[in-house]
Amino acid sequence: MRALSFNQVLVGLIVVTALMAMTHRAGMWGARPVPEPPPPTPAAIAFQRAEAERAARAAAAAAEQARLQAATRPAEEESVLAEGEGRSETFAYCTACHSTALIRRSAFSRQRWDELMDWMTNVHRMNPLEGELRTLIVDYLARHYGEREGQAYTNPFLNN
Ligand code: HEC
């Protein structure tokens, strides 16, 4: 067997290289290009839009809830009133219509508290407060929200 000439080897290499280049380009070997994803169908587009709207609505609802929570004052607790006998009864009887702020800002004599019970009934239709319960509540009010020194009457709507 005779040895190959330089030219024969050269031609052989060129042919092999050309074949490799052609088959590679045809995708017969080597890494293949990733195919483009197909364009979304109208149904997929509609679904995506609906999902985005749903997420936006959920976010708006959460924001509204947070706003309401921040704006809502927590319910008053009995302990806002001064500690003492009759506090529970006073809190229960007097917070049906308004907060205790009106009470806490007041400084009345026992007689004026007593008159106020009738005023609350006559003018604001409070259940008539009578008997032992009336004594207990009026005593409580006079003891803890009685007249202060040099201050016979406090306007409950002013911070003085
Ligand atoms: C039936 C509803 C109702 C009940 C129950 C009620 N109040 Fe009132 N009270 C009112 C209304 C209405 C006002 C007037 C509020 C205003 O003017 O903004 C008022 C006003 C007041 C004031 C301010 C009066 C002033 O002239 O400074 C005080 C103090 C007060 N209430 C104390 C009490 C106490 C103490 C009790 C419990 C014994 C009580 N309220 C129970 C309806 C009620």
Residues 6+ apart with CB under 8 A from 50: none
Probe target for ligand 1 pocket from 80, 88, 94, 122, with the most ligand atoms within 8 Å of CB: 94
* Predicted local confidence at residue 89, as pLDDT: 97
110: Cβ contacts below 8 Å, ≥ 6 apart:
138, 139, 141, 142, 146
Q: What mean pLDDT is predicted for residues 13-30? A: 91
Q: DSSP for 60-124?
A: HHHHHHHHHHHHSPPPP-GGGSPSSTTHHHHHHHHTTTS-THHHHT----HHHHHHHHHHHHHHH
What's the gap in Å between 102 CA and the centre of ligand 1?
A: 7
Euclidean distance between CA atoms 134 and 132, whole angstroms? 5
Ligand 1 atom, smallest distance to 129 CA: 38
Instruction: Output the ligand 1 site: residues, CB below 6 A.
Output: 93-94, 96-98, 102-103, 106, 116-117, 120, 124-126, 129, 137, 141, 156
pLDDT at 75: 84
Q: What is the dihedral of CA 157, 133, 139, 113, to 10 degrees?
A: 40
Q: Give the pLDDT band of residue 1 (cuts 50, 70, 90).
A: low
Report the CATH number at residue 127: 1.10.760.10
Cβ–Cβ < 8 Å for 107, 141: no
Residue 41 lies in a domain: no
pLDDT in tens, 132-146: 999 999 999 999 999
**In a domain? residue 115:** yes
pLDDT band for position 31 (50/70/90)? confident
pTM of the model: 0.63
**Residue 56 one-letter amino acid:** A
The pLDDT tens digits for 76-122 are 999 999 999 999 999 999 999 999 999 999 999 999 999 999 999 99
- The answer to the question of residue 119 being in a domain is yes
Nearest CA to ligand 1 atom 14: 124
Per the domain annotation, does 120 fall within a domain? yes
- Is 111 within the bounds of a domain? yes
4, part of any domain: no
Tell me whether residue 28 is in a domain: no
Taking the centre of ligand 1 as the mean of its atom positions, its distance from the CA of residue 129, in whole angstroms, is 13
Residue 86 lies in domain = 81-144
Query: Are residues 132 and 89 in contact, defined by beta-carbon separation less than 8 angstroms?
Result: no
Q: What is the pLDDT of residue 73?
A: 78
Pocket mutation for ligand 1, best pick of 120, 140, 160 (most atoms within 8 Å of C-beta): 120
Identify whether 104 is part of a domain.
Answer: yes
Q: How many domains does the chain have?
A: 1
In this structure, which residue's CA is closest to atom 34 in ligand 1? 94
